[in-house]
Chains A and B, each alone.
Chain A
Amino acid sequence: MDLLWEGVKKAFELLWTLDPEVLGITALSLKVSILATLVSLVLGGAAGMAIALTRFPGKRLAIAVINTGMGLPPVVVGLFVTILIWRSGPFGFLDILYTPTAIIVAQTVIATPIIAGITLAAIQQLHPDLRLQILALGATRWQMLGLLAREARLPLMAAVMAGFGGVISEVGASIMVGGNVKDSTRVLTTATVMETGMGNFDTAIALSLILMVLTFSVNALLTHIQQRDRPR
């Protein structure tokens, strides 16, 4: 029990004193995961809407692929992104292995199918004639898409939360493509793994606490946006 108690005390000390290293790690985690979520929102949101609103041969297969992608193991993503951006790999010329950019790329690969899958389901559950009704009110195609997204805003925000939750908490891909380099690619999850391995449970607990508070805060904010005009 002492171990845990000491850990919690140390954690608050680190937080209280605004330990620069911990702050740096936290800031990088947030930056990387928010960027990855935003890119995924654009890619996954567009893909989800496009697939939901168009008819094409192989649509079911596409949906099955996306749904499978929603559960991609981060280590598998880490492995393949590493191979692709390895010095001699097809994207080696980009020279991004062991940089924050590499983590953003890997996390985007993880979050895009999650957001696409939920977006797809969200748009498909709208009334099939709603799209036509909006066009019949005089909307252009883009205005129609905007209004549909607005109608599906609850599940779309859920998609963003799921995407963000998926990437802020993953460790496999970040450690493989980022390398957990101090002051460069060390994020909360990779640092926690490392500190635990080194027996520094106090620091590990501190990092975990921060991770949980962070995840909770971001989700609370998104939930607030999602629910603000809902009647209780």
Chain B
Amino acid sequence: MSAGPVAAEAPATAPALEVSGLAVHRGGVQVLDVPVLSLRAGSVLALIGPNGSGKTTLLKTLACLLEPAAGSLRFQGRELASRLDRQAYRKRVTMVFQDPLLLDTTVVRNLETGLRLRGVPAPERRERVLDAARRFGIEHLLGRRAHRLSGGEAQRASLARAFVLRPEILFLDEPFSALDPPTREGLLEDLGAALRQTGTTTVLATHDQNEALRLADTLAVMHLGRIVQTGSGVEVVNRPVDEFVAAFVGMETVLPGQVAESRQGLCTVAVGGAQVHCVGGPQPGTPVLVGIRPENVLLSDHDGAGHSARNHFPATVTRVVPKGPFFKVELDCGFFLAAFVTPGALEELALAPGRAVVASFKATAVHLITRG
């Protein structure tokens, strides 16, 4: 081995975007409060939350389309201090809105607009437009007038218009929310592929957690203008930090209880009159919330002997609600419990209000949230 010069260590890459102390006011009310947020280069961050939680406001602020009342933005380690900085930054990032917002001209002119504004020469423009059009399957629409496209086609054109710019950060504001499910599915697929192939740093706002889980590697849950939890999809979905996040990510059962016993990493929580076994070690007496995802609850018509789950409760079905490809079965076990079952299981167990069953779930399927 030669004793050559030590390979220079790769410089610690600055985050693509860093935010500190961001505040936005509207009509004298603070609508956004984000003390810190950091976006790793090449990552896809999904902002999830209900309507009005501040996702769009945060996105517009990050894209420098909205002036915050306070706070600073650092792009690749450099602060965007002046108007000129922000103007230059806007030429390196772009945003796709909920509505396609195409200009009243042809599709090809729409795709070219950003490139023209950035002074890209004509031959290169043509090449890049074709490339982006191909990526989103709209080559055959290039000569059409934008306002004659269908909703799905228009949103494809809008995404292509963003990708053609090869943005260093791409901001997406619920780009699929106005589309019908098959159209949305196709577009999600194409967008996912485009993001993976180009490695574009992306911030996606959506109220659909499935969209977020599919496209993003990090989720940030927003509520009332604040980010209440950040983490991987699995983390956020299975280990919500509070009742709001739990409800938002579909943890149907959230029950107040108190730790009764705790030893060797296992504990028992008193919920109503029942004892729920879970994993975790809070001190006895600690008030907690017990969260159980409906897909982790198993229903059977016997007592569950021989089953590996630690928790078994005799229950009565109170309601059956269709939920996409599943049915949500609401149960009374002395406390409320919700379970998802397949249509097959629904039929096999003859699940209907009044039916007596046994509900089982593992100790590891119980998520504990300590109450303050």
Contacts and interface: CB of A to CB of B under 8 A. Distances in A.
B101 A130 contact: yes
B87 A132 contact: no
Given A127-B99, A147-B103, A231-B148, A137 B94 contact: yes
B97 interface: yes
A208 B99 CA distance: 50
Contacts of A147: 103, 113
Interface stretch (A15-23, A79-87, A138-146): A138-146
Contacts of A229: 105
B65 A137 contact: no
A90 to B, nearest CB: 39
A132 B65 contact: yes
Contact of B117 (A127, A139, A231): A139
Band of interface residues on B? 20 to 34
B212 interface: no
Nearest to A130: B101
Contacts of A135: 65, 90
A147 B112 CA distance: 13
- Which has the most chain A C-beta neighbours within 10 Å: B87, B93, B104, B145? B104
A139 B116 CA distance: 9
B135 interface: no
Contacts of A132: 60, 65-66, 95, 97
* Interface residue tally on A, bucketed by range: 10 to 19
Interface string B58-87: 001001011000000000000000000001
A137 B93 CA distance: 8
A137 B145 contact: no
B107 to A, nearest CB: 14
A115 to B, nearest CB: 21
B92 to A, nearest CB: 8
A29 B103 CA distance: 38
B165 to A, nearest CB: 7
Nearest to A129: B97
Contacts of B145: 231
B117 A136 contact: no
A127 B101 contact: yes
Interface string A198-232: 00000000000000000000000000000001010
Given A132-B65, A231-B148, A138 B91 contact: yes
Given A129-B97, A129-B99, A130-B101, A137 B87 contact: no
Contacts of B105: 229
B87 A140 contact: yes
Given A132-B65, A138-B165, A151-B103, A143 B95 contact: no
Contacts of B113: 137, 147
Given A143-B117, A231-B148, A136 B94 contact: yes
Interface string A105-148: 00000000000000000000001011011011111100100010
Most buried by B among A129, A130, A147: A129
A133 B101 contact: yes
B125 to A, nearest CB: 13
A144 B91 CA distance: 13
Interface of B: 60, 63, 65-66, 87, 90-91, 93-95, 97, 99, 101, 103-105, 113-114, 117-118, 145, 148, 161, 165, 171
Interface of A: 127, 129-130, 132-133, 135-140, 143, 147, 150-151, 229, 231
21 contacts: A127-B101, A129-B97, A130-B101, A132-B60, A132-B66, A132-B95, A135-B65, A136-B63, A136-B93, A137-B94, A137-B113, A137-B114, A137-B161, A137-B165, A138-B91, A138-B117, A138-B165, A140-B87, A150-B103, A151-B104, A231-B148
